[in-house]
Amino acid sequence: MIKTILGISCYYHDAAACLIINGKIIAAAQEERFTRKKHDNSFPINAIKFCLSWANILSNDIDAVVFYEKPVIKFERIIFQYLASFPKNRKIFIDTINQWLSFKLNIPKTLRTELNYTGKIFYVDHHMSHASSAYNLSGFSEAVILTVDGVGEWATTAIGIAKDQKIVLDEEIRFPHSLGLLYSTITAYLGFSVNDAEYKVMGLAAYGDPKTFKLQYDELIKIHKDGSYSLNLKYFSFIHSDKMYNHELEMLFGYPARQPESKIKNYYADIAASLQMKLEEVLINLLNVINKKYKQENLCMAGGVALNSVANGKIIKNTTFKNLYIPPDPSDGGCAIGAALYFWCQYLGQKIEYSKFTPQLGPAYSDIQIKDILDANKLKYKFIHDNASICDVVSDLLIKQKIIGWFQGRMEWGPRALGNRSILASASSLKMKDIINIKIKHREIFRPFAPVILKEHVKSYFFVDDPLPEPSKYMLLVYPFKNIGIKDSPATVHVDKTGRLQVISHQDNPLYYDLIKNYYQKTKIPIIINTSFNIRGEPIVCSPVDAIRCFLNTDIDYLMIGSFLVRKIKKI
């Protein structure tokens, strides 16, 4: 009987691994956290070894490996894509084909070489992996499913219905027409990294006027009566080149593409704003057309576009759906979980206990391990004996406007730091935003910070949907602040008076919740800043060594790592 399943995603971006035993997600992690290479797409050998080690099993204990897409079908699309414009893409064609023939089509060989695994291997459609990652964790018996990304095998958007653990995707939009690739193309045009910095474009959009380039976006993408959309391929080069856009796009906007790291002029912010508005228009229209067919209250979303938290926060208000679920990692990394869950739930017909799901699925370290590493680095520290004292001490430091590296428990699953690998600070001073951006994160000044808020106070501080969608736990929804929030936590208020909030309850993360509650009891403010524990260009920290390195090379004031409080002076 199959009971131990390893899910894998890799070779595009955000490689990851997930281990399920008897229907329970035991461990999951992204490869980047171990290699320290952001968005690492290589075979996730380190993530796999972690999962096996956490479960105390060996590779020959695995009953089935499930891969997140079907490489042969994807290879077919690649061949058609490049042959359509051959020979002008000759060099990129040769490089790409070599990669496919050497390892991307040889998953069994890689598993034998890297893991000595010779057992059963199964392949799940890319968008089905996305769909499963959302539906099978949602708790919904029945739901409409929408997955939107750059491209899987052929599909860029998939639509379907799920009921009683059976998922059927019966409509799709195919490459090269892609909402995700449109957003990535403009990301590249604006001088940011594709498959990395789309969230920067989303943040920049709040500084621009969305009406300025409306006509240009109407030219770039057409919306059809059936809710589908198509790109005007005249302006795009991604079909035959490693460059996303061409000169025609620059002519359309009337401005040259921004050079990376150069000044962001007002018209670039306007281009970002108009892109965000167009994305929301296409998405909301598609959802409303879909639900005329399915007439369903519940919606599950996944795919890279589901990371657009600004659009996500407008779905319930602007569609006929009443409930929304998006998993902690809706992008390709999340497909490792999605593929494994699909195999367990749909292929094997087994059930999963979704109510016990937590994104705390990565490595954890004991106080003994942490102490050894602190001593090896000759750091001075104070041992704090209990969680109540940790909360009391750290809340006092936050009130004193100190910045805290917070390293606790198991590393979170997904692209967001959710309170176990976080940098924390008081949100009560507007200056704190610039201090963290410049002195610690070393990133663009226009980027906002996320507010984490006690669940019982969220309706007092934000204009939110009722009921509050579960993705609010995972920093996947942006909502407008109320006046009290603008007054009490100005460092987390974006220029458009919104916040990408994380709602925290005691059940989800007791220590993290108790810290913020302790801070609230002293200040009457139930919000602090939570940003990921890393600097620009690096993955979120995974190990104590990563945390100490980040702490020592930034202006973080204190490191609260396990039960140890560390600061950058000889004595505490």
User: Using one digit for the tens of pLDDT, what is the confidence trace for 151-161?
Assistant: 999 999 999 99
Q: Where are the alpha helices (DSSP H) in 237-304?
A: 247-253, 266-294
Tell me which residues of the chain have a pLDDT lower than 50.
570-572
Q: Could you tell me the maximum CA-CA distance found in the chain, to the nearest angstrom?
A: 68
- What three-state secondary structure class fits 327? coil
- What three-state secondary structure class fits 256? coil
- Measured CA to CA, the distance from residue 351 to residue 114 in angstroms comes to 31
Q: Which of 192, 194, 153, 189 is nearest to 174 (CA)?
A: 153
Residue 89, token pair as written in the block? 């893409």
- What three-state secondary structure class fits 384? coil
Q: Which domains does the chain have, with CATH numbers?
A: 4-135+332-356 (3.30.420.40), 179-325 (3.30.420.40), 367-567 (3.90.870.20)
Share of the chain above pLDDT 70, in %: 99
In this structure, the strands spanning 478-480 and 323-325 are unpaired
Give CB contacts under 8 A, 24+ apart, made by 351-355.
351/23, 351/165, 352/23, 352/24, 352/25, 352/136, 352/137, 353/23, 353/24, 354/136, 354/137, 354/138, 354/139, 355/139
In this structure, the strands spanning 155-163 and 142-148 are antiparallel
pLDDT in tens, 22-42: 999 999 999 999 999 999 999
Q: For residue 561, how many other CB atoms are within 10 A of its CB?
A: 25
Peptide bond into 327 cis (omega under 30): no
Cα 101 to Cα 70, 94, 129, distances in angstroms: 15, 11, 24
The residues facing 564 across adjacent strands are 383, 561
Q: Which residue has the tokens 């750290």?
A: 394
DSSP code at position 237:
-
Find out whether 343 and 393 touch, Cβ atoms under 8 Å: no
pLDDT for the residue 88: 67
E strand segments, 190-321 = 221-223, 229-231, 298-302
Q: Where are the alpha helices (DSSP H) in 465-532?
A: 483-488, 510-523
Residues 6+ apart with CB under 8 A from 22: 3
Give the burial class of 351: count Cβ atoms within 10 A of its Cβ; 0-12 exposed, 13-18 middle, 19 or more buried. exposed
pLDDT for the residue 262: 96
Find out whether 497 and 486 touch, Cβ atoms under 8 Å: yes
Q: Which of 29, 47, 44, 55 is nearest to 410 (CA)?
A: 29
- Measured CA to CA, the distance from residue 391 to residue 396 in angstroms comes to 8
Q: For residue 181, how many other CB atoms are within 10 A of its CB?
A: 22
pLDDT for the residue 135: 98
pLDDT for the residue 380: 94
pLDDT in tens, 535-544: 999 999 999 9
Give CB contacts under 8 A, 24+ apart, made by 371-376.
371/564, 373/544, 373/545, 373/548, 374/544, 374/548, 374/561, 374/564, 374/566
